[in-house]
Amino acid sequence: MTQEAFKPAESPDAAPRRQLIGLSRDELGRELAALGEAPARASLRAKQLWHWLYHKGADDFDSMTTLAKELRVRLSKHCSIARPEIVREQRSKDGTRKWLLRFADGCEVEVVYIPEDDRGALCISSQVGCTLTCSFCHTGTQRLVRDLTAGEIIAQLLVARDRLGEWPRATEGRLITNIVVMGMGEPLLNFPNVAAALKLAMDKEGIGISRRRITLSTSGIVPMIERCGRELGVNLAVSLHAVNDELRDQLVPINKKYPIAELIEACRRYPGAHNARRITFEYVMLKGLNDAPDDARALARLLRGLPAKINLIPFNSWPGAPFECSARARIAAFADLLNAEGYTATVREPRGRDILAACGQLKSASERTRAHRRPPTATGAEAPP
């Protein structure tokens, strides 16, 4: 895993400072050994340092009073725990908050906090942009794409906790109780870094968000699904959006590689999925394309026998989007049909629309150019340019 500095920090002797955020305890131990700590002491110091980073939320070495002054000086000289820069902070009238973060190389990601009555979810990004170009998704129109490091992924949670004043609060009364990996990017195409970051978030001695409160959303990277369940055991959400390959090929082009039947089969084998912990199938409601009563019935048939629930997402528009959202009544009728078939189908309340924080609206301010693409039409054929 590559680890980069979030800020172009340089140590006094001009070597770039090593970014420590995102490292496991063992990796921290190795860094401390490289700084000259005796091996026997390095692992204890690593534990202390880790506690400062992920329990207390320290953002400078000087405050780490359980470490010897001389070690703190060495750490400040050669290492960094700087957060990414907060370029912009926005607050929606519904309480949703959005931060635009900038990393060392100028790449930016958005992080969204969504408060609800009894809990709050932080929506984090796994990549800058996304390679997968789903035709209804704003992120997919961004040309600039790279994986985020584990440090850059966990830093999104650290910044949000800084801004919400959550350090060192344990679990009681917290604002961020859940994590959804539903921001920019396809998490299963950057799995090692996503996994390392989520393991840090789950660690009981630090932030301690249980895997049951973490949901990872994938467009359907079939070969990685089983590993995700085995290694992380988090809740799985699958961006289905269509019930036949012809339409799904157009909406979610990765379907050409991993078609619906293979995706459903991988879901059947997802470790840890059962009736008390169902897989969420996300289904974006696109007017005239996938919102007919017959589509709802076909969806019920497709998911038969799976521990599944369905989340209908009203399409969130963005400038130049080639789709329209289905009418409210049409969405409600779709949900009713699924409920009558015995499924739990909920309609996702769009949050933070006024600050473009809703699903699929995230996109770095640095990258507003829209890639040229032809929208699919209601008949499934390509629209004329």
Stretch of residues binding ligand SAH (CB under 6 A), selected from 18-26, 215-223, 242-250, 372-380: 215-223
* 348 closest CA partner among 284, 276, 275: 284
- Give yes or no for a contact between 213 and 177, defined as CB atoms under 8 angstroms apart: yes
Stretch of residues binding ligand SAH (CB under 6 A), selected from 114-122, 135-143, 300-308, 333-341: 135-143
Nearest residue (CB) to ligand SF4, 92 versus 239: 239
Cα gap 97→115, rounded to integer Å: 9
139 binds ligand SF4 (CB under 6 A): yes
Largest CA distance in the chain: 70
Question: CA quadruple 23, 27, 31, 37: dihedral positive or negative?
Answer: positive
132 binds ligand SF4 (CB under 6 A): yes
Amino acid at site 376: P
Shortest CB 360 distance to ligand SAH, Å: 2
In the range 216-235, which residues lie near ligand SAH by CB under 6 A? 217-219
Nearest residue (CB) to ligand SAH, 135 versus 149: 135
In the range 300-329, which residues lie near ligand SAH by CB under 6 A? 313, 315-316
Sheet hosting strand 235-239, strand order edge to edge: 85-91, 97-102, 108-115, 120-123, 178-181, 214-218, 235-239, 279-285, 308-314, 344-347
136 binds ligand SAH (CB under 6 A): yes
186 binds ligand SF4 (CB under 6 A): yes
- Give yes or no for a contact between 216 and 234, defined as CB atoms under 8 angstroms apart: yes
Shortest CB 250 distance to ligand SF4, Å: 12
Question: CA quadruple 14, 20, 22, 25: dihedral positive or negative?
Answer: positive
- If you ran DSSP here, which 8-state letter would residue 381 be given? S
Amino acid at site 52: W
Shortest CB 134 distance to ligand SF4, Å: 3
130 binds ligand SF4 (CB under 6 A): yes
- If you ran DSSP here, which 8-state letter would residue 366 be given? T
- Answer yes or no: 110 catalytic: yes
**One residue of 82, 101, 182, 312 binding ligand SAH per CB under 6 A:** 182
**One residue of 42, 137, 157, 179 binding ligand SF4 per CB under 6 A:** 137
Q: What are the residues binding ligand SF4 (CB under 6 A)? A: 130, 132-134, 137, 139-140, 185-186, 219, 239
Where in the sequence numbering do the catalytic residues fall?
A: 110, 359
